[in-house]
């Protein structure tokens, strides 16, 4: 079988998470992804440990599968020339430098595209390529804060809560996802136009975009959303509940599920009670309903309730640890964790891409690369450089 992006070459000049996440996804779908890194140090996340597997940080390993590593010093004129040559051979260039940085290194994306009209340049930045904030730096946590996510994450003030960030760098990851879909759209458009294009993906704008129903709750209802812990602003009951030996998540999405839920907990008459018969009524009487449910659910174990809800097709689930998620029966059945050998002889665990394509399957060919592992290979393959030419570049400090 072939892969969806078999003949696509990606020059990945990004680092940390948002850009590398996009590069990893494109590599999963079959693109030849060449990761450009600084000599000696590489991507910042190579040092973001512990934990370590050999000399590699777990953080770096999480986002650089299916890539080849090439070290180039873009502060040197010869290094800049190498990037220009590689860009001529690429279909896509990913970068997440601060806005204007590439221009300072004589690598203006407009110039690269003039040399290669087929090139798609995807720039990921904190606040976009234009506007008054364009030159500002930004990391995930500050984007979660300034982009509104932390204002709706965590327990309510009345429960003693305060703003919280999500437990992974979700603003970066979602920007990487948006970047990936934009690159795929641009590749499709290129089949019609015959030209590449610029793509501008700001972390901040991405963060705002995927606030989804919370955005619309404000735009339509005029009320600023606040923190509600595990509860849902538009559905009740839809939150975590304590049981006699732990917790579970109950996620009731319609009136049929609510009626069955009430049967399960021994309160069947509440489904027809005017205070709870519709979702709007349940939201209005949220506090009373949650108190009733919590009293009932504390009377038995998590396993008991999960079995009872499952028997009536009421959506409910355990609140698993990551250890449980990656080692349970579902993980084994779905191959959520795979092992890939790297150039140092280590078996690198990787969490599978969740997408299954039956004609052009996701590939798991390369473990995250060692620093500069493929420099000579790529310069020879993409540019036709000889061993002597590559040795000269090494002695000059360009690679």
For 50-73, the DSSP string reads SSEETTEEHHHHTS-TTEEEEE--
Predicted local confidence at residue 161, as pLDDT:
86
pLDDT attached to residue 340: 97
Question: For residue 167, what are the CA distances in angstroms to 8, 76, 164, 170?
Answer: 33, 39, 9, 8
Residue 31, judged by CB atoms within 10 A of its CB (0-12, 13-18, 19+), counts as buried
**Whether the domain at 9-210+337-396 and the domain at 238-319 fall into the same CATH topology:** no
pLDDT recorded at residue 159:
86
Give the pLDDT score at 174: 97
> How many Cβ atoms sit within 10 Å of the Cβ of residue 255?
14
172 is catalytic: yes
pLDDT value at residue 323: 96
Residue 60 has a pLDDT of 97
Which of 28, 32, 43, 172 is catalytic? The answer is: 172
Would you state the pLDDT for residue 255?
A: 96
Collapsed DSSP state (helix, strand, coil) of residue 115 = helix
Which of 303, 261, 301, 304 shows the shortest CA–CA distance to 279?
A: 261
The span from the CA of 66 to the CA of 363, in Å, is 8
Pick the CATH number of 238-319 from 3.40.228.10, 3.40.630.180, 3.30.70.20, 3.30.1540.10: 3.30.1540.10
pLDDT of residue 137: 86
CATH 3.20.20.70 fits 9-210+337-396, yes or no: no
Report the C-alpha gap between 321 and 282 in whole angstroms.
Answer: 30
- DSSP label of 47: G
Q: Which stretches of the chain score pLDDT less than 70?
A: none
* The two three-digit tokens of residue 386, written as one number: 């000889």
Beta strands in the chain (DSSP E): 9-12, 32-37, 52-53, 56-57, 67-71, 92-95, 120-125, 198-202, 238-242, 247-251, 316-318, 337-341, 347-351
Cβ distance 340 to 278 under 8 Å? no
Q: Is residue 123 within 8 Å of 129, Cβ to Cβ?
A: yes
What are the domain boundaries of the chain? 9-210+337-396, 238-319
Strand partners, 351: 337
At 158 the pLDDT is: 87
Q: Please report, in angstroms and rounded to a whole number, the separation of the first and last CA atoms in the chain.
A: 35
Asked if 356 contacts 362 with a C-beta cutoff of 8 angstroms, the reply is yes
* pLDDT recorded at residue 138: 85
Of residues 39, 164, 68, the one with CA closest to residue 373: 68
Residue 389: its pLDDT value, please? Answer: 95
| 322 three-class SS | helix
Distance CA 23, CA 66 (A): 9
Residue 108's alpha-carbon distances to 93, 111, 147, 149, 360, in angstroms, are 12, 5, 29, 33, 35
Contact 213, 178 (CB under 8 A): no
């Amino acid at each position: 079988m072939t892969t969806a992006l078999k003949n696509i070459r990606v020059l990945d000049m990004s680092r940390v998470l948002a850009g590398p996440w996009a590069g990893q996804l494109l590599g999963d779908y079959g693109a030849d992804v060449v990761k450009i890194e600084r000599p000696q140090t590489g991507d910042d996340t190579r040092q973001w440990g512990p934990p370590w597997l050999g000399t590699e940080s777990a953080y770096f390993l999480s986002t650089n599968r299916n890539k080849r590593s090439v070290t180039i010093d873009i502060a040197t004129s010869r290094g800049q020339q190498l990037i220009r040559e590689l860009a001529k051979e690429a279909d896509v260039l990913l970068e997440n430098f601060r806005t204007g940085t590439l221009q300072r290194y004589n690598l203006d994306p407009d110039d690269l595209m003039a040399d290669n009209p087929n090139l798609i340049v995807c720039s990921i930045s904190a606040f976009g390529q234009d506007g008054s904030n364009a030159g500002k730096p930004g990391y995930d946590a500050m984007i979660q804060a300034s982009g509104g996510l932390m204002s709706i994450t965590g327990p309510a003030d009345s429960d003693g809560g305060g703003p919280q960030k999500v437990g992974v760098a979700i603003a970066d990851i979602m920007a990487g996802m948006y970047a990936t879909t934009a690159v795929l759209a641009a590749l499709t458009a290129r089949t019609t136009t015959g030209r590449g294009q610029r793509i501008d993906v700001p972390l901040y704008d991405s963060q705002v975009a995927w606030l989804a129903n919370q955005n619309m709750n404000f735009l339509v209802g005029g009320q600023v959303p606040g923190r509600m812990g595990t509860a849902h602003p538009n559905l009740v009951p839809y939150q975590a509940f304590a049981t006699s030996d732990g917790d579970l998540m109950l996620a009731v999405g319609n009136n049929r599920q609510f009626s069955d839920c009430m049967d399960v907990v021994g309160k069947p008459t509440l489904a027809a009670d005017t205070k709870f018969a519709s979702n709007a009524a349940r939201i209005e009487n949220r506090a009373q309903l949650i108190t009733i449910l919590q009293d009932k659910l504390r009377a038995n174990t998590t396993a008991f309730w999960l079995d009872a809800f499952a028997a009536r097709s009421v959506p409910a689930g355990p609140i698993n640890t990551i250890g449980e998620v990656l080692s349970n029966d579902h993980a084994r059945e779905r191959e959520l964790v795979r092992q890939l050998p790297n150039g140092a002889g280590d078996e690198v665990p990787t969490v599978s891409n969740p997408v299954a394509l039956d004609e052009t399957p996701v590939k798991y060919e390369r473990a995250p690369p060692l620093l500069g592992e493929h420099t000579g290979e790529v310069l020879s393959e993409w540019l036709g450089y000889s061993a002597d030419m590559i040795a000269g570049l090494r002695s000059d400090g360009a690679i």
